[in-house]
Amino acid sequence: GPTTPEPTYSCKLHLPGEGRFLDKRNCNMYYRCFGGRVFHMPCPSDPYILWFNENEQVCDWPENVPECPQEPPTREPQPTTPEPTTPKPTTPEPTTPVSFICLERKVSRQKKL
């Protein structure tokens, strides 16, 4: 009978059949071939869309992935001043664990009563 095509991707296209390979239909995705199995993995797309760079085996800027047939996504205009690399703290760190501990103590006290 007719051979059914392998799902989405064949690692046999590559030797030794393991590694990470660009999904040319969606360059934000790549195939991870490991132990004869295929995993379809995404690259980050927030805040910027990154493409998979097969040569470097990393998610990279689209301009560094010339083998992708797609048009590079337009990057949002970057702010004139470079943003500080330190992540902005959403909530001061110590508060959450401390309040959790207080909560647990209250609960355990109530159980003992």
| E strand residue ranges, the chain | 19-22, 29-34, 37-42, 51-53, 58-60
Look at residue 29 and give its three-state secondary structure.
strand
Q: In whole angstroms, what is the distance from residue 8 CA to residue 54 CA?
A: 18
Quote the mean pLDDT of the chain.
Answer: 77
**Mean pLDDT value across residues 58-63:** 96
Q: Which residue has the higher pLDDT, 41 or 11?
A: 41
Q: Does residue 100 or residue 87 have the better pLDDT? A: 87
Bigger pLDDT: 110 vs 23: 23
Collapse the DSSP code of 33 into the 3-class scheme (helix H, G, I; strand E, B; otherwise coil) and give the result. strand
Buried/exposed 11-30: b ≥16 CB within 10 Å, e otherwise: beeeeeeeebbbbeeebbbb
Predicted pLDDT of residue 56: 95
Of residues 27 and 111, more confidently modeled: 27
